[in-house]
Structure 1
Amino acid sequence: MNKDSLLYPQINSSRNIENNLNYQKIYPIIVIDAIFFQFYKTGIARVWRSLLEEWAASGYAKHIVVLDRVGTAPKISGIRYRNVQQYDYSKTDADRIMLQQVCNEENADLFVSTYYTTPISTPSVFMAYDMIPEIMRWNLAEPMWREKHYAIRHAYRYIAISENTARDLAKFFPHIHASSITVAHCGVKSIFSPAIPEEISSFKVKYSISKPYFLLVGASTGYKNTILFIQAFAKLTNKQDFEIVYTGASFLSESDRKAFLSGITIHKLQLEDEELKLAYSGAVALVYPSKYEGFGLPILEALSCGCPVITCANASIPEVAGEAAIYVNDSDVDELTKALSEVQKLDVRQSLISAGLSQSKKFSWSKMADLVSSALQSAAANIENAKKASAELSVHVEKFERQLLEETIDSSQFLNLVSGCMNLYEIDPEDESVLADLRLIRKRIANFWLSAAVEELESLYLGNIGKAHQILQNSAFKKTQLTEVEQTFVDELVEKLAKGLDNSRAINYRLAAMLYCLENEGDRTHFPNWLQ
């Protein structure tokens, strides 16, 4: 395997030692899986290509290692690539192992996937483009969406390409706190700008477009809602004066063509950015009646080219179009027909073009790249701080555990220790060191009850250990989330409690269970009065 000499120095000369010191200054190292390019070249590919280009230009690329799936990633000067195997949805477990191995070899601090892959343990930042499968109630058991949800649960932090996507992410995954999501709007390439009349004329001649035309970009059935345009266009009184240009999948059945668009010339085109700019610039309007968008790049591109936009105020679309578009209800055919007529008026067009050019200036890839890189830096710093805090907590816990074992559990000193910890908890219920101390105290008391002689339980419960027990039992701490080790312990208690009073040590198990907020602690009426 070829390894970059800076990142993998052979420490056998003063020059290589210097390189090694330089390497140590590069922090964080972020592995980006360019898997999306293996499957698609659509909008998400545009997002990541633009980010990588911006980072290569700004120098942030020194932090980046791009995993190139069988040579499908875009090759950008200044980006370091590493070839990896093709992704296979039937071998996701093996892929996770491979990704973790790569992260280990690269000393990665963070992992980011362009499309829902995950390593085993390296902290990841999840890029949320949309929640269309969840909103539209697609089959979430399909491998692609299963892996998406796995990646969301695995992630440490999140980046969303719109405020609406951020809200939807938090809606479907309530455990995600808003503070862990960074919103970074997409940008628009500089190539998307108003074309001159001669360029538009040449474009129309090339594709035999002989009349004014309405443009559909990414046209398809389903949530893209192209059928609304077909039905609305069919009701235009002057529809014969126009043609239709569209990009994307075929959206028109032969029966729909005959029913709604008989006699209308329709052009299906596959356009690169240079010609897409001309298509936008020459159109009467971009018609984009989508029911949901994670962002809506075609809208922003159209605005940048001085193309009027007719769309629907759904999901993220108002964030992108602002007040520079004509909005219609996504199920109102007559309203869209009226908008198609309105946009033909010169004064309306000029107003929309001017507003659109102004609105488009609010978005840029450089701004998005800065926001994303800042979010990645912040996530890496938080992880590093968490590691340090964890190490410090480990030392603290070890020290407190020794102190705890030195105290006689039924002594006034132990009771004072419990009271002191509970006072600290009430001051700051999120203090990790206090929570760790209370967990140790709770486990020691629980173990004490489990090992105590049955005939001594009453006198012990009425003494200092019982008072310490009640301090924990009556506090909010009892409802804090259990650690994995605690959950295993509780599961064992539940199994023992299920045997009921026939078990000779039922009271011992009940006393231990009372400390963990178990619903199934047993029927109180069948226990001694001192335990009611």
Structure 2
Amino acid sequence: MARKRSTPLQNQWTSHCDSAPPQPVRIDFDGSEMTTPPPPPPPASLEFSPSPQSAAAPGAVLGVAGLIGGNLTVVSGEKGLASSGKCDLSGVNFIFDGIIYHLQNIVKGGFMGGIAKMWYNILPFMIDAVNSAGGQVTNCQVRNFTFDGASNVMCDDLSRVERLPGEKKVFWSSYYRGVPHACFIHMVYDQIPERTGMDHGRHTEYWPRIKNMRHAGGFLSISRATTDDMCALYGMCDRQYVATSDNRISSAFWPRPKDATEAFQKAKGITKPYFLAVGQRFGYKNYAIFWEGIGRLRQEIRDRYMVVLVGKPPHPDSEDPRGMEVKSLQNVDEEHLALLYSGAAAFVYPSRMEGFGMPPLEAAACGANLILGPFHRDRMPQVFGDLASYATTGEEMEAAMTKVYEGKKLDPKILIQRASGWGSDPRHGWNEVAKDYLEYMIHGPFRQGPKGSRKCGGIVQSPLDCRFVTTETGLVLAPATTPAGEARKDSYSGGPAGAVAM
């Protein structure tokens, strides 16, 4: 593979390309040629109406609604969660495809992108829950990136899935691969390429996501916005087949004391109050309006503040700070990122499109005031609503930044409280997403007909088995609320008890 990139995710050749699998990293679901016509073009406008509150699927057994951050419905009894108090997953193998850790060249303890960080946080909770019920989680590795408690095996070729143990197998991939040898659950993060006009044809890294949607027995989604787009762009509108659970943030994000933030700022040469931007800043991230807004500010405001950037610019000399002082930092870990959030005059994230968008919640959890873009205003209004300023133009950005200068800011306690429903409170963190996803993999309901659904269902005997509750440290089996004899259904194979209420 001399000088050849191993995946389209890479911007340049690196030495780890030589260790890429002998076959293409992403294969079509069943190894056939991709002959499907290209997906429909994106809408002409990126101005969206708020996401609708959809009704549950017909026949769904509705119950206790999820927290504000999630929307997976559970079966409910008179006193809350209905459960048999039992869970036997003997002979069931939940197979996780860890391809993302190869694609992003990630090592333990190193910097992680959003998807890698997501599964690094979710999978341990799933592993503990499955192991405690006698089941198995297999981490199918393409590079050596292990998870404690899982069966860590090398899977350069996904044909190995067929040879893995388990009377029942459930497979999901960290980045869009699929197999016909197990119940295939398709993880969908976003439809950013379609919504922003990026190339998403069959030669790109995004095509397997699109292609494999037709094969999946069911879906996992990171936000209501993503689930809405599955319907709007691809007609996947029956939401009982989509386990939608909002992304969460790490409990590492909480407001740091003033002396700690000031010491860090001094160490990094941050000498003024600052507007903070975190992450990538190209294209749809919409930071062009940030720089335009700075250019419109009165000189006294530009002199008063500076800009702190975490992350590389889209390309050299692509950003004009219009005379405002700028400090750029790279590879900032969560502990130090929390210090930056805690000390910021405001956090700026004007994105037009995301799957979920975690940085604003990280900032809010640390008490930072927010200046956000059209995505959070129009597609995720349930997250911040009127607790943030919004900007879609340079003029609106100028107005939002001027409000900060004039001291028109929210009490940080309000923002911290709002963020608690998405992970800063450990009872409602990634363990809650693990619960939503795992219960869907066990119970369904699953689509009928696609190749990836043929091995789905039949994992438990009752819709009340294998129901979990979150604690401050993870997941535990929900206590029994119904006599076991009444809860049993001999023919249960995964039905509407796991439906999604949006």
TM-score by length of 2: 0.64
- Residue 285 to residue 263, structure 1, CA distance change in 2 (3 Å): closer
Q: Aligned residue for 2:395?
A: 334
- Residue 65 to residue 341, structure 1, CA distance change in 2 (3 Å): same
Q: Aligned residue for 1:306?
A: 367
**What is the CA deviation profile of residues 49-78 of structure 1, one whole-angstrom value per residue up to 9, with x for unaligned ones?**
11013234545574421112221x3x4432
Q: Aligned residue for 1:111?
A: 171
Separation in structure 1 between the aligned mates of residue 457 and residue 390 of structure 2, nearest angstrom:
50
- Residue 304 to residue 100, structure 1, CA distance change in 2 (3 Å): same
Name the % identity: 23
**What is the CA deviation profile of residues 456-510 of structure 1, one whole-angstrom value per residue up to 9, with x for unaligned ones?**
xxxxxxxxxxxxxxxxxxxxxxxxxxxxxxxxxxxxxxxxxxxxxxxxxxxxxxx
Q: Aligned residue for 1:368?
A: 433
Separation in structure 2 between the aligned mates of residue 150 and residue 384 of structure 1, nearest angstrom:
18
Q: What is the letter of the counterpart of residue 432 of structure 2?
A: K
Q: Aligned residue for 2:224?
A: 163
Separation in structure 2 between the aligned mates of residue 218 and residue 289 of structure 1, nearest angstrom:
12
Worse-matched range after superposition: 110-119 or 177-186:
177-186
Say which structure, 1 or 2, has more relative contact order (CA 8 Å, 6+ apart): 2
Separation in structure 1 between the aligned mates of residue 455 and residue 179 of structure 2, nearest angstrom:
21
Does the alignment pair 1:261 with 2:327?
no
- Residue 203 to residue 56, structure 1, CA distance change in 2 (3 Å): farther
> CA offset at residue 266 of structure 1?
2.9
Does the alignment pair 1:38 with 2:98?
no
Does the alignment pair 1:357 with 2:400?
no
Q: Say how many residue pairs are matched.
A: 347
Q: What is the letter of the counterpart of residue 66 of structure 1?
A: N
Q: What is the letter of the counterpart of residue 30 of structure 1?
A: F
Q: What is the letter of the counterpart of residue 183 of structure 2?
A: P
Q: Is residue 160–residue 184 contact of structure 1 (8 Å, CA) maintained in 2?
A: yes
Consecutive unaligned residues of structure 2, counting only runs of 5 or more, are: 1-86, 105-111, 423-428, 448-452, 459-502
Which of the numbers 112, 126, 129 marks the counterpart of 1:55? 126
More helix by share: 1
- Residue 60 to residue 47, structure 1, CA distance change in 2 (3 Å): farther
Q: Is residue 52–residue 79 contact of structure 1 (8 Å, CA) maintained in 2?
A: no
Does the alignment pair 1:210 with 2:271?
yes
Separation in structure 2 between the aligned mates of residue 217 and residue 28 of structure 1, nearest angstrom:
41
Structure 2 counterpart SS, 1:109? strand
Give the number of the structure whose alpha-carbon radius of gyration is greater.
1
Consecutive unaligned residues of structure 1, counting only runs of 5 or more, are: 1-22, 86-94, 389-532
Which of the numbers 131, 138, 149 marks the counterpart of 1:65? 138
Separation in structure 1 between the aligned mates of residue 455 and residue 216 of structure 2, nearest angstrom:
17
Separation in structure 2 between the aligned mates of residue 387 and residue 126 of structure 1, nearest angstrom:
15
Q: Is residue 110–residue 124 contact of structure 1 (8 Å, CA) maintained in 2?
A: yes
Structure 2 counterpart SS, 1:144? coil
Structure 1 counterpart SS, 2:398? helix
Separation in structure 2 between the aligned mates of residue 276 and residue 194 of structure 1, nearest angstrom:
11
Q: Is residue 220–residue 251 contact of structure 1 (8 Å, CA) maintained in 2?
A: yes
> CA offset at residue 131 of structure 1?
0.5
Separation in structure 2 between the aligned mates of residue 150 and residue 34 of structure 1, nearest angstrom:
19
Q: Aligned residue for 1:134?
A: 194
**What is the CA deviation profile of residues 11-44 of structure 1, one whole-angstrom value per residue up to 9, with x for unaligned ones?**
xxxxxxxxxxxx9852532101011111232111
Q: What is the letter of the counterpart of residue 45 of structure 1?
A: A
Separation in structure 1 between the aligned mates of residue 249 and residue 116 of structure 2, nearest angstrom:
13
Structure 1 counterpart SS, 2:125? helix
Separation in structure 1 between the aligned mates of residue 153 and residue 455 of structure 2, nearest angstrom:
29
Separation in structure 1 between the aligned mates of residue 229 and residue 150 of structure 2, nearest angstrom:
33
TM-score by length of 1: 0.61
Separation in structure 1 between the aligned mates of residue 415 and residue 189 of structure 2, nearest angstrom:
23
Separation in structure 1 between the aligned mates of residue 413 and residue 171 of structure 2, nearest angstrom:
42
Q: What is the letter of the counterpart of residue 116 of structure 1?
A: Y
Structure 2 counterpart SS, 1:120? coil
Q: Is residue 303–residue 360 contact of structure 1 (8 Å, CA) maintained in 2?
A: yes
> CA offset at residue 203 of structure 1?
1.3
Does the alignment pair 1:240 with 2:303?
yes
